[in-house]
């Protein structure tokens, strides 16, 4: 029962006014979708889990990941991966260097290079390592962002409206790719979205906030 | 490591570096002003220094000069910038003027003042170009244009330098004022461009650019280098006289200087209060003007007039630099010839080695100061980001404080205080004194781009297990390379242009390009001034060119950073 992402009595308030409450366990390979119109604080929940909550918010409750209480851990030690609606590739680094940023340290330069090439192969972007991320298409960027995150070997995955910037044709393709990879790696996934299609496609429990 | 404990201290350290010398300097002014200067064997308190000051026959004129140049230079440059922006923002002529004026911002005041003097003096370039054909002069007319008794040329010298400054500040403020739509709406309601802008955008823009306007006012009232070059001599403006008293070998004269410094401070505070009162009056009249529904009949004329004035400002500085260049290469150049008989390297051979020594000193000080200011600024901004601190509007005024207190009010006191404490004048105190003026500009230059950085980049990097320092060094700073280098260039330019801080705190022993150039003013050797003025301008301009060039080269294959 230890594996997975658990939100225990998480309540977030803004200047004293309650914003949202969640109490939910997400098992490995499962998806929890949090739905609601913009402005109800969906992204705030993710900020709490990544440890980047803005100072005007207050939160109570605990976050457990794979049996560790990460509620008060430093952001970079939580092992929680996140994807936003924008790809947020580092514009000063090449595609390969972006992936190397994500890839855990260790291994020889050649081994690391091979791992990066392999990751690019996996999403159909072979030979893109030296490209400037700004020259990629929207779908390509989304795939690089996904692989960069996976290379950091997270234990859980957060999705913040991750597909809303993609056009309809790409959207299903990228969405399937993300959920497939998460399932293969047995990652618990928490997605916030206002899009019913995305929620359906996730195929897990749906919690609706606000309204 | 101990960095974690060090970072939260940086904002405090920054405030200390910025305000400490100001406070110490004011304290060091206050005591001698009331007759207390143990180093000269004098103990107070006494009102004798003020009595001496008020007995000085030149005082009324010196005070008048300080007030008139300050108010005139500030209101005229503000009017030019506002009307040009009102009439032309978003048009081709405006972009052209903007491109012309922004590099001029970094031209040091002294170089611009020399350039202006070489243009408009009776024997200046304009007179030479027009003589004898238009004017009929075959010798320079006996007119007092430069160093005129009323300080008008000095005021003009300040205006041509403050217009680029205020224009750049205004452009930054315009982005947040939703100007275009307001003007479009008012034009649809039948308002002229200028009137519509003044009635809808101006109040919002003015509220934002108010602190830098106050800085311009305080600076123009107490400037020394421009006043030495372009201002009247008998008597000079109050600030110049304070510096003269300070350099008197008789230590007792420092008491009179200190009393003068306090008077200068009082004048600036009075002028700022007066300006604030003027704001109320203008706001009242403006409200009435808005209520009257006047659509603006003279808009076209006003807009053209403002554009001409703005262009004149740009041309004065640009042609000033051209004439400095000509003089630096001039062989014999008799009046009224438009150009020298011959161009030669001789002036550069003769003064070049001296300028190189001064350049070395200038660069050493400027690089140290600018880097220190940059590190403190990044430390403050990073501490603000990491610990979720937020600076209130009041704290922003603290940044402007060292720029609002006239230099002549606290630098003499700082020198006297150091003398009393037995501290040595020289390079290191000069560096600390420069930091007072460089820090606010570096901070103001970097703060907006630093804060505008998408913090989700930080979240992503942390999720990829980069530590806070890793995020800073590997993501944030590289992405902000261009604004960081620009802030560094701003810091270098401000340090290069410092005159009074170098002169007083260096005890006359620290010779930078600026102190050397201004020292040449009384001699009137135009060839030497040309060489020093150009070197000074180059020292301030080259860093800006590099700040544009380096990111373009480093990120040549990174489209996402090209306009960042």
Please list the helix, strand and coil fractions of chain B in percent, rounded to the nearest 5, in that order. 75, 0, 25
Q: List pLDDT tens digits, range B173-232.
A: 987 778 888 898 899 898 999 999 999 999 999 999 999 999 999 999 999 999 999 999
Which residue is associated with the tokens 């290379």?
A151
| A205 CA: distance to closest CA in chain B (Å) | 25
CA atoms of B339 and A35, how far apart (whole Å): 77
- pLDDT at res. B4: 55
Is it the case that residue B144 has pLDDT exceeding 60?
yes
pLDDT at B563: 63
Closest CA to A57 of A13, A11, A7, A10: A13
Q: Each residue of B101-136: pLDDT tens digit?
A: 888 888 999 999 999 999 999 999 999 999 888 888
Q: Do A88 and B462 touch (CB under 8 A)?
A: no
Average pLDDT over residues B282-295: 94
Question: Does the beta-carbon distance from A149 to B467 stay under 8 Å?
Answer: no
Positions of chain A with pLDDT under 50 = none
Is A38 at the interface with chain B, CB within 8 A?
no
Q: Tell whether A28 and A60 lie within a shared domain.
A: yes
User: Measured at the alpha carbon of residue B408, what is the angle toward residues B405 and B409, in degrees to the nearest 5?
Assistant: 55
Is the pLDDT at B2 greater than 70, yes or no? no
Among candidates A28, A18, A5, which has minimal Cα distance to A182? A28
Q: Are A3 and A57 contained in the same domain?
A: yes
B490 bridge partner residues? none
Establish if A126 belongs to a structural domain.
yes
Please answer yes or no on whether A92 and B561 come within 8 Å at the CB atom: yes
Chain A nearest CA to B152, separation (Å):
51
| Distance, first Cα to last Cα, chain A | 33
Tally of domains in chain A: 2
| Average pLDDT value for residue range B502-530 | 92
Q: Shortest Cα distance from B389 to chain A (angstroms)? A: 9
Q: How high is the pLDDT of residue B308?
A: 96
Q: Is A80's Cβ below 8 Å from some Cβ in B? A: yes
- Chain A positions touching B561 (Cβ under 8 A) are 91-92
Tell me if A131 is assigned to some domain: yes
Domain hosting residue A137, numbered range: 90-153
Same domain membership, residue A1 and residue A63:
yes
pLDDT for position B5: 67
Domains of chain B listed by start with CATH number: 1-35+351-564 (1.10.3720.10), 59-326 (1.10.3720.10)
Task: Write down the pLDDT at residue B167.
Answer: 94
Higher-scoring residue by pLDDT: B377, B423: B377
What residues have CB less than 8 Å from B419, skipping those under 6 apart?
B39, B425
Q: How far is CA A192 from CA A34, A50, A203, in A?
A: 5, 14, 14
A2 and A72 housed in the same domain: yes
Same domain, A71 and A121: no
ipTM score assigned to the predicted complex: 0.90
Neighbours of B16 (CB within 10 A): 13
Q: Is A91 on the interface with B (CB under 8 A)?
A: yes
| β-sheet bridge partners, residue A10 | A22
Q: Which residues contact B257 (CB under 8 A, 6 or more apart)?
A: B32, B242, B243, B245, B246, B412
Residues of chain A by 3-state class (helix, strand, coil), percent to 5: 35, 25, 40
Task: State the nearest Cα–Cα gap between A134 and chain B, in angstroms.
Answer: 5
Q: Is A137 on the interface with B (CB under 8 A)?
A: no
A73 with A1, same domain: the answer is yes
Q: Is B298 exposed, middle or buried (0-12, 13-18, 19+ CB in 10 A)?
A: exposed
Residue reference for tokens 């300006």: B275
Q: Which of A129, A153, A177 is the last residue of a domain?
A: A153
Is residue A40, in this structure, part of any structural domain at all?
yes
**Residue A85 belongs to some domain of the structure:** no
Which residue among B457, B468, B558 places its CB closest to the CB of A88?
B457
Beta bridge partners of A189: A31, A157
Asked if B461 and A149 come within 8 Å (Cβ–Cβ), the reply is: no
Contacts of B105 (CB under 8 A, 6+ apart): B164, B165, B168
pTM of the predicted model, to two decimals? Answer: 0.91
Do A149 and A159 share a structural domain? Answer: no
Mean pLDDT score, B10-25: 92
User: Which residues of B lie closer than 8 Å to A, measured between beta carbons?
Assistant: 388, 454-468, 470-471, 474-475, 478-479, 481, 555, 557-561, 564
Q: Is B432 exposed, middle or buried (0-12, 13-18, 19+ CB in 10 A)?
A: middle
* Residue A34 belongs to some domain of the structure: yes
Residues 6+ apart with CB under 8 A from A22: A7, A10, A34, A45, A61, A207
DSSP code, position B475: I
Token pair of B473 as six digits: 């060094």
For residues B95 and B304, the answer to whether their CB atoms sit within 8 Å is: no
Asked if A37 and A100 sit in the same domain, the reply is no
Is A21 among the domain residues? yes
* Buried b or exposed e, range B238-252, using 16+ CB within 10 angstroms: bbbbbbebbeeeeeb
Domain ends where: A104, A129, A153?
A: A153
Q: Which pLDDT value is given to residue B564?
A: 46
A101 and A117 share one domain: yes
Alpha helices in chain A (DSSP H): 42-50, 95-102, 109-122, 138-151, 168-184, 196-202
Residues A71 and A101 in one domain: no
Please indicate, yes or no, whether residues A162 and A58 belong to a single structural domain of this protein. Answer: yes
Distance CA B480, CA B496 (A): 24
- What letter would DSSP give residue B330? B
The set of residues, in sequence order, having a beta carbon less than 8 Å from that of B386 and lying 6+ positions away, is B7, B468
Residues from chain A that touch B476, judged by Cβ atoms under 8 A, are none
Q: Does A55 touch chain B (CB under 8 A)?
A: yes
When scoring A5, A59, A91 by the number of chain B Cβ atoms within 10 A, the one with the most, hence best to mutate, is A91
Give how far A79 is from chain B: nearest CA, Å: 7
**Dihedral sign computed on CA atoms, order B59, B64, B67, B69:** negative
Structure tokens at B418: 């150091």
3 state DSSP class of B99: helix
Residue B266 has pLDDT above 50, yes or no: yes
Q: What per-residue string of b and e applies to A10-39 under the rule 16 or more CB within 10 Å gives b?
A: bebbeeeeebbebeeebebbbbbbbbbeee
- Which is it for strands A80-83 and A156-160: parallel, antiparallel or unpaired? parallel
Q: What percent of chain B has pLDDT over 70?
A: 99
- Binning pLDDT at 50, 70 and 90, where does residue B143 land? confident
Closest-CA residue of chain B to A47: B459
Both A37 and A65 in one domain: the answer is yes
DSSP letter string, B137-157:
-SS------TT-TT-HHHHHH
- Let me know: does B107 contact B161? Beta carbons within 8 Å: yes
CB B479 within 8 A of CB A90: yes
Task: Report the candidate in B97, B110, B215 with the shortest Cα–Cα distance to residue B157.
Answer: B110
Asked if A35 and A199 touch (Cβ cutoff 8 Å), the reply is yes
Flag whether residue A171 sits within 8 Å of chain B, measured between CB atoms: no
* Predicted confidence (pLDDT) at residue B3 exceeds the cutoff of 70: no
Query: In terms of CA atoms, which chain B residue is nearest residue A97?
Result: B474
Residues of chain B with C-beta less than 8 angstroms from the C-beta of A54: 388
> CA–CA separation, A127 vs A111, rounded Å?
16
Please report whether residue A45 resides in a domain: yes
Residue A24: give its domain's CATH number: 3.40.50.300
Phi and psi, residue A13, nearest 5°: -125, 150
Domain boundary among A153, A177, A193: A153
């Amino acid at each position: 029962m230890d594996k997975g992402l658990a939100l225990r009595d998480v309540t977030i308030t803004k200047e004293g006014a309650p914003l949202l409450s969640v109490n939910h366990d997400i098992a490995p390979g499962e998806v929890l979708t949090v739905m609601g119109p913009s402005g109800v604080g969906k992204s705030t929940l993710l900020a709490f889990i990544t440890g980047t909550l803005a100072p005007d918010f207050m939160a109570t409750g605990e976050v457990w990941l794979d049996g560790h209480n990460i509620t008060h851990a430093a952001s970079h030690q939580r092992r929680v991966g996140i994807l936003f609606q924008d790809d947020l590739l580092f514009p000063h680094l090449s595609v390969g260097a972006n992936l190397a940023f994500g890839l855990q340290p260790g291994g020889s330069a050649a081994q690391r290079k091979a791992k990066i090439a392999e990751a690019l192969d996996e999403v159909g972007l072979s030979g893109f390592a030296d490209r400037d991320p700004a020259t990629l298409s929207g779908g390509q960027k989304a795939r690089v962002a996904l692989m960069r995150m996976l290379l950091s070997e997270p234990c859980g995955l957060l999705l913040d409206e991750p597909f809303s910037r993609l056009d309809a044709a790409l959207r299903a393709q990228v969405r399937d790719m993300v959920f497939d990879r998460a399932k293969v790696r047995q990652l618990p996934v928490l997605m916030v979205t206002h899009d019913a299609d995305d929620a359906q496609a996730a195929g897990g429990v749906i919690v609706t906030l606000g309204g | 490591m101990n960095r974690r404990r060090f970072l939260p201290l940086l904002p405090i350290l920054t405030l200390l570096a910025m305000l400490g010398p100001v406070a110490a300097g004011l304290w060091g002014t206050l005591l001698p002003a009331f007759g207390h200067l143990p180093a000269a064997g004098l103990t107070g308190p006494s009102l004798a220094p003020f009595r001496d000051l008020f007995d000085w026959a030149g005082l009324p004129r010196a005070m008048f000069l300080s007030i008139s140049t300050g108010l005139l230079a500030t209101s005229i440059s503000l009017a030019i910038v506002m009307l040009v922006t009102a009439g032309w923002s978003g048009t081709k002529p405006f972009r052209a003027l903007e491109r012309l004026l922004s590099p001029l911002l970094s031209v040091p005041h002294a170089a611009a003042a020399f350039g202006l003097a070489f243009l408009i003096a009776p024997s200046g370039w304009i007179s030479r170009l027009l003589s004898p054909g238009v004017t009929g002069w075959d010798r320079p007319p006996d007119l007092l244009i430069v160093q005129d008794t009323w300080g008008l040329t000095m005021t003009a010298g300040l205006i041509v330098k403050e217009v680029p400054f205020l224009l750049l500040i205004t452009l930054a403020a315009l982005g947040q004022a939703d100007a275009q739509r307001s003007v479009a709406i008012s034009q649809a309601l039948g308002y002229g461009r200028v009137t519509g802008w003044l009635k809808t955008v101006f109040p919002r823009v003015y509220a934002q650019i108010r602190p830098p306007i106050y800085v311009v006012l305080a600076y123009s009232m107490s400037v020394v280098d421009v006043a030495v070059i372009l201002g009247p001599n008998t008597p000079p403006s109050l600030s110049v006289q304070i510096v003269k008293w300070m350099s008197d070998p008789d230590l007792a004269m420092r008491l009179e200087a200190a009393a003068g410094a306090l008077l200068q401070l009082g004048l600036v505070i009075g002028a700022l209060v007066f300006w604030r009162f003027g704001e109320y009056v203008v706001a009242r009249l403006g409200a009435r003007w808005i209520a009257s529904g006047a659509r603006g009949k003279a808009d076209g004329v006003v807009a053209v007039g403002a554009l001409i004035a703005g262009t004149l400002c740009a041309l004065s500085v640009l042609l000033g630099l051209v004439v400095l260049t000509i003089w630096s290469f001039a062989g014999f150049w008799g009046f009224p010839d438009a150009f020298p008989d011959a161009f030669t390297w001789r002036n550069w051979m003769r003064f070049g080695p001296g300028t190189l020594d001064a350049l070395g000193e200038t660069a050493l000080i400027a690089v140290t100061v600018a880097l220190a200011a940059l590190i403190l600024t990044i430390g403050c901004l990073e501490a603000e980001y990491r610990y979720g601190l937020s600076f209130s509007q009041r704290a922003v005024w603290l940044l402007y404080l060292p720029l609002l207190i006239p230099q002549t009010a606290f630098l003499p006191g700082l020198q006297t205080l150091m003398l009393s404490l037995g501290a040595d004048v020289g390079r290191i105190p000069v560096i600390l004194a420069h930091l007072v003026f460089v820090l606010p500009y570096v901070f103001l230059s970097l703060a907006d781009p630093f804060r505008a950085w998408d913090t989700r980049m930080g979240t992503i990097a942390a999720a990829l297990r980069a530590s806070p320092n890793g995020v800073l060094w590997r993501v944030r700073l590289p992405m902000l390379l261009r604004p960081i280098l620009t802030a560094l260039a701003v810091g270098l330019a401000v340090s290069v242009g410092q005159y009074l801080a170098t002169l007083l705190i260096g005890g006359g022993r620290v010779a930078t390009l600026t102190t050397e150039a201004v020292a040449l003013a009384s001699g009137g050797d135009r060839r030497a001034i040309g060489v020093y003025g150009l070197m000074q301008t180059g020292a301030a301009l080259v860093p800006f060119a590099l700040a544009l060039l380096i990111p373009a080269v480093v990120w040549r294959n990174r489209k996402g950073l090209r306009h960042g």
